Amino acid sequence: MKASRPRRRAPSIDVVIASARWRRAPRAAAVVRRAIGAATPAQARGAELSVILTSDRAIRSLNRRWRGRDKSTNVLSFPTPARAPSRPPRGAPRHLGDIVLAYETVAREARAAGKPLDHHIAHLALHGFLHLLGYDHESHGQAEAMERRERRILARLGVPDPYAERERISRRSGHRFAAKDMRKKLAI
């Protein structure tokens, strides 16, 4: 008889609504939890993270302080450093980090792209979570790996490919756009 391993649980996700603007997206916390839950690899099960739903003003301040960019953005991720100052007590969940979403930018981008707000929230929560897991998009190869993973997970959630428009433009023009450049143009 095979011994069954205890089933590991998805990460604990503390969603903090720090801006009243998020009342316009009443399902946001559930969408965030579902998107991150669908993306959770084995090494992140049983861990914890925070997602802060805030305003453009607040995220602009964070972006200025931590990235030196004095402008708002849609999502920021703050992974817990690999060498955190203190380790959690034995048996306590490991904190993966924090994700911050700005309502005005997220809503504006969704409207401009003609996509449901919930789909854009799911994409950005997933994007931020992948950053917490170590994914990045600083090089073309990194961006492609991250986008492949996003596409697969979002498809399982029934969310259309957020990069499809960029790919369509790229094929039509015969020019291969750098993922980073097109992300700016398509607000993703």
Ordered structural domains, the chain, with CATH: 12-80+94-161 (3.40.390.30)
**Is-contact 40 4, C-beta < 8 A?**
no
DSSP assignments along the chain, one per residue: -PPPPPPPPPPEEEEEE--GGGGGSTTHHHHHHHHHHHH--GGGTT-EEEEEEE-HHHHHHHHHHHHS--S--SEEEEEPPTT-SSPPPTTSPPEEEEEEEEHHHHHHHHHHHT--HHHHHHHHHHHHHHHHTT---SSHHHHHHHHHHHHHHHHHTT---TTHHHHHHHHHHT----HHHHHHHHT-
pLDDT tens per residue across all 188 residues of the chain: 444 444 446 789 999 999 999 999 999 999 999 999 999 887 787 889 999 999 999 999 999 999 999 999 999 999 998 765 566 667 678 889 999 999 999 999 999 999 999 999 999 999 999 999 999 988 889 999 999 999 999 999 999 999 887 666 666 666 555 555 544 444 44
- Single-letter residue type at 11: P
Predicted confidence (pLDDT) per residue in 144-187, tens digit: 999 999 999 999 999 999 988 766 666 666 655 555 554 444 44
Q: How far apart (Å, rounded) are the C-alpha atoms in residues 131 and 125?
A: 10
Q: How far apart (Å, rounded) are the C-alpha atoms in residues 69 and 58?
A: 13
Q: How far apart (Å, rounded) are the C-alpha atoms in residues 39 and 162?
A: 16
Length of the chain: 188
